Structure formats: structure tokens, C-alpha cells
Structure 1
Amino acid sequence: MNGARLAARPAVAAGPGNASPRPKRRRRPDLLPYLLVAPLAIFIVGLALVPAGFTVVESFFKVDTLDPPTRFTGLGNFRQIFLDPLLRDASVNTLVYVLIGTALSTLLGIAMAVTLQHRFAGRSALIAILILPWALPGVVEGIVWTGIWDANTGLLNSVLTSLHLIDHYHVFLGEHRWLTILLIEIVQVWQMTPLSALLILAALQNIPGDLYEAARLDGCSGLQAFWRVTLPLARPGIAIAMVQAVITTLNVFDQPYVLNGAAPAGSSVMIQTYLVSFQNLNFGEGYALSLLVTIATLVLSLGVVKLVYRPVEF
């Protein structure tokens, strides 16, 4: 009986309050972003990731065109690297390159960025000139600076002789290890500093001028404002500048090779990698050495970011 009454009850029209939810239509995925990114992703995978994976695999094999066939050696290539005295000396040289280059380029970059932070007549032209050393290839820079360090016709010898500071021309490159490293690294710092200055300048441009005004009203001198406002807020740009300096100096090749050739006094790890791979034709050891340089670059770069970088909010 109750069932018949329920069946006879008229249906209630659906209103705004009791409308049943309609099933949501699935949105079709937008493939356009993936299509736009795909060429770049394929390019990166083909040009970077595939060779990197090939290097990792081949570093555990004996790949020597003078001693075929290719065979698995495990850690044999790495063992040979640590037993090679030339590679040990080159590693020390490269570490000195990294320390000198990173420190000098960062300090000079900060000084240049602070100078260029304020607008003045000729500022744009000065920035354009500043970029030139960074834009030049390393080989060209080495050739240019050869005219300064050269033992026979170099500008440095000529100036020192004219000032009667020396009585005869000296050989500056190749004889004294630490002097050779210092002079070569001056050339590389000349190349790296403009980029460091521009990176730090970009960070300084983001600092609101109100903070400097507040610091001045609180009685801070220019030096105190630099230590308490400029440096803390420019740390992201300084960290990026230091990372690029670490990467550049750790992989230095052009300047030492052009200025000093393959002489061990100023040799770097990358020069030894080139000699091992293409002069000795021991590609397996060259792969292993390249892998170690890559790992060292990642570790040092992450260390710099961890120590220097701090997020900044205005």
C-alpha cells in the first residue's frame, strides 16, 4: 500500500537548491606547451645527457686505440689517474686557479657593480666596454696577453726595463710554478670579472632605494650601509657569480695552453685530459678524468651555493 502511494506521488521539479550535480567533463590536455618544449628537450638530451651517460660508462673500460680491443677494467682508469704525478700536479694547479680566480673575480666584480650601481654620464658606454673581455674567446685573450708576458718582446719586460727595475728581459712564464699560475690566472680573471660584475649589478638593482634612505636616517655611514644593506641583499647575485667563476676556473684550458703550452708549471686538469685522450690516445682514462672533473664541479658549486646563497625578500 505504501509502495503504491510513493509511486503515485508526483515528482518534485528540480530547483536551484536541490539540483543534482552534473558530471564534469574531462578537460583535454593542452599539448602545445609540450610541443614547444620538445625540440629543446631533445636537443639537451642528445647533446648533453647522452654523451654524459656514454662518458660514465666508458670511464670503466680500457679504451685505447693503441691497445685494442675495448675491455672492462673497473676502477683501473681511476687508479691510474691518482698514480700519475703529472695529474697530481695539475690538480694542485687547478685548485690554485680556482681559489685565486674565484676570489679576485668576485671582489673585483663587487667593486665594479657598486661603482656602476649609480647612474652617471657614460655609464652605458662603460658597461659596453666592460663586456668586451668576457665576450672574447679564451684563445684570443691568450694571444693578446702573450704580447704582455712574452720574454722577448713583451710589454711588461719593456716597461720594467725602461723604469730601470730590471736590467735584462726575464722569462715570466714556465720557469717559476707559482708565478706562472698567477700570471695565467690574471688573464682569466680579466675574462671572468665582467660577467661577475654584471651578475652582482643585477642583484644590486633590485635593492629598493628606501632601504639606503632608512639606513642614512639611522646614522649609517656609506661603509656601514654597504656591509649591512648592500652585501646581505646582494648575496644571491654574488653566489651566482662565484659559481660561474668556480666552473670557469675548474675547467680552464685556453689561457694556460696558449700562454704556456703543455709545460707542467702551469698545466691544468683539462690540459692533462686533452693530452691523455688525444696525445696518448688513452680515451678510457680521459673519460674517467672528465667524470672526476664533472663531479668536482658539482660538489664545489653546491658548496658555494650552500655557503653564500640566501633567499632575499623585499
Structure 2
Amino acid sequence: MSLTRSATPGPGLTAEARPTAPVRRRGRRFDPLPYLLVAPVAIFIVGLALIPAVFTVVQSFFKVNPLDPPTRFTGLGNFRALLADDAVIGSLGNTAFYVVVGVTLSTVLGIAMAVLLQRPFRGRSLVIAVLILPWALPGVVEGILWTGIFDPNAGLINSIVTQVGQIFGTGAGGTTLLLGQNRLLTISLIELVQVWQITPLSVLLILAALQLIPGELYEAAEIDGCTRWGAFRRITLPLARPGIAVCMVQAVIATLNVFDQPYVLNGAAATGSSITMQTYFISFQDLDFGQGYALSLMITVVTLIISLVVVRTIYRRVEL
């Protein structure tokens, strides 16, 4: 007679003493598909953005001029030479005007037009489609179009100035030269063209933010006796701040790097030149690539600083 041990624990066997089967954890398998899908974009960004950016930073501290070889380290020499250049200082003043006026006008017009387009109406899609056209056109094409408008012989603006001069007896002739003579007038007209280009994008960005505002908030405000202006100040503006911040950042980037409009409308004249134009002149006309790299680095740093200030000042997270 043989004795066998029962697999069922007896009454005296505690639960801790019961044998348990080992738990087998499944290892997480490595899936290369997401990385393969992202790899082309990552390589593209590194190849066309990060590598040139690093190269620009390094070369900005060197004297790089094919007419004055060899390439040699100058430290901050390129930056000191730029800050002592009258043409660069003048273009900095013009660019500051472009930024202040362009960002202000495009933001104010963007808010006003977005509020008008906030509520659906017949033909709104057509209005938005037409509104996008100035933004969709290249800057060179816009400059050529506005060159005809500012033409001193047959331009529309020139005709209006002439008629106003005749009405008020100022004696304005038929060949009033609007661009290139007076610095303030020149940069004002050039920035008018750029505002015409960048405002549509500002409208779309702010309009997208307005579409996220629930209509119930306006209904509740109306029931409480809030006027339209009060609803605009207390509901629309606070809840649209994320879109307004993005709108202002894109306007800052566009105005700080303006090149097409002043170059096409006013050529190389100092009355309307921008800091980006000076980068082109220094690099490809003077062939001083070291100073060109340094000026590009300065523009990039200033753009980042101003954009950061705008975001920290205007942007607020909205939770509905």
C-alpha cells in the first residue's frame, strides 16, 4: 500500500504556504514603424534647419570673405562692425517701424474681421476664400502689383493724391513720387503692402479661436444684461487670447524678416531697406559672409526674444 500526497491543501495548510504558479510577464516588443515614419521628417529638419543653424552660429565668429582669404577667427569683430555700420543702423530703425506698425495693424484688423466673420451668414465661405488671396500670393508678386498702384504716372494712389491736391489747392502735380523720397512715407506705404499680405492669416488664426467659444456664454451674458461691447471685452477677447498670441507671433516673424516688398517697391534705397535686405547686401554684394552670418544670427535671436515676450504676455490657457 503506497501513500500519496494530496494536491489539495489540508485544513492546516495556510494560504501563504500554497504553491503558486510563476507569473510570466510578456516583454514589450520594439515596434520600429513609428520611428521609420518620423525618420524622413526628422532627417529633413536636421538637414535643412539644424545643421545650417549650427553652421551660421559658428561662422558668425569668423572672417569669411573670398576676396580676403583665409578664413580666420575674429570673435565679436563681426558684431562690432555691424553695430558701427550706418546702413545697418538705418535698416534697424526701418525694421522696428515695420514690426510695430505691422504687428499692431494686422492684429487689430484681424480681431475686427474675425469678429465680423464669427457668426455664419450667407456668402461667408466666399468672403473667407477671397480674404485668403493676399496671403496666398508670393511677396514678389504683391510687390509688382503694388508697384503699378504706386506708379507716379498712372498709379491709382498717385491719381488720388493728385485729385486731393487739386481740391485743396496744394498744387500736387500728376507725377507725384511716393516711394523713395520721404523716409517715413516710404516705409509707411511699404508696410501697408505687407499688412495687406499678413492680415488674412491673422484673421484665420483668430477666427479659429473664436469658433471654440460656446454660444451659450453669449446667450447667458445677454440674459444678464451684458451689452455687445461688454461681451466682447469679457468673453471674446479673454477666450481668444491663444489665437491672438499666435497671430502676433507670426506677424512678428513676417515683419522682422520682410524682404520682398521693400526690395521690389523701393530697390536698394536706404529709405525703405530692412535688416534682412542688409543681410543680402552684405553677404552677396560685399561678399562678407562672416558679417552676413552674424547679422542673420542677430535677427534670429531678436525674433526668438520678441516672440517669447509676446507669448508670455498675451497667451493664456483657456479651459471651458
- Say if 2:131 is the partner of 1:130: yes
Aligned to 1:89: 90
1:256 lines up with 2:256 in the alignment: no
Q: Retained in 1: the 8 A contact 2:221–2:231?
A: yes
State the 1:38 CA deviation.
Answer: 0.4
How far apart are the structure 1 equivalents of 2:131 and 2:252? 21
1:142-291 to 2 correspondences below 5 Å: 142-163=143-164, 164-165=166-167, 166-168=171-173, 169-291=175-297
Identity %: 64
Cα distance in 2, alignment partners of residues 203 and 19 from structure 1? 58
Quote the offset at 1:175 in angstroms.
1.1
Conservation of the 8 A alpha-carbon contact between 2:102 and 2:194: yes
Shift of 1:262: 0.8
Counterpart position of 2:31 = 30
Partner of 1:5: none
Alpha-carbon shift at residue 66 of structure 1 (Å)? 0.7
1:200-228 deviation per Cα after TM superposition (whole angstroms, max 9, x unaligned): 00000000000000110111001100000
Query: Is the partner of 2:110 in helix, strand or coil?
Result: helix
Counterpart of 2:109 in structure 1 is 108
Alpha-carbon displacement from aligned partner over 1:174-204 (angstroms, at most 9, x marks no partner): 1111111110000000000000000000000
Displaced runs of 4 or more, over 4 A = 8-18
Aligned partners of 2:162 and 2:183: how far apart in 1? 23
Does the C-alpha gap of structure 1 residues 124 and 15 become closer, same or farther in structure 2, counting only changes over 3 Å?
farther
For 1:25, the aligned partner's letter is R
Residues 257, 276 of structure 2: 8 Å contact kept: yes
1:79 and 2:77 equivalent? no
Q: Could you tell me how far 1:15 is from its partner in structure 2? A: 8.9
The residue matched to 1:50 in structure 2 has which SS? helix
Per-residue Cα deviation, 1:44-95 (whole angstroms, up to 9, x for no partner)? 0001000111101111111001101111111111110111011011111101
Report the Cα distance in structure 2 between the residues aligned to 1:211 and 1:246, rounded to whole angstroms.
32
2: distance between equivalents of 1:162 and 1:89?
33
**1:219 alignment partner, SS class:** coil
1:117 partner SS: coil
Change (3 A) 1:18 1:98: farther
Alpha-carbon offset, residue 172 of structure 1: 1.1
| TM-score normalized by the length of structure 1 | 0.94
Distance 2:197 2:278 in 1: 22
Deviation at 1:20, TM superposition (A): 4.5
- CA-CA distance at 1:160 after TM superposition: 2.8
State the TM-score, normalized to the length of structure 2.
0.92
> Please, which moves more after superposition, 92-101 or 17-26?
17-26
Write out per-residue CA displacement over residues 239-284 of structure 1, whole angstroms, 9 at most, x where no aligned residue: 0000000000000000000001111111100000000000000000
Supply the distance in 1 between the matched residues of 2:22 and 2:100 (Cα, whole angstroms). Answer: 67
Count of matched residue pairs: 307
Match of 2:47 in 1: 46
**Secondary structure of 2:308's aligned partner:** helix
Distance 2:96 2:25 in 1: 61
| Structure 2 Cα separation of the partners of residues 241 and 135 of structure 1 | 16
Q: CA RMSD in A?
A: 1.9
Give the Cα–Cα distance (whole angstroms) in 2 for the partners of residues 294 and 21 of structure 1.
60
Q: Is the 8 A contact 2:180 2:271 kept in 1?
A: yes
Answer yes or no: is 1:308 the counterpart of 2:314: yes
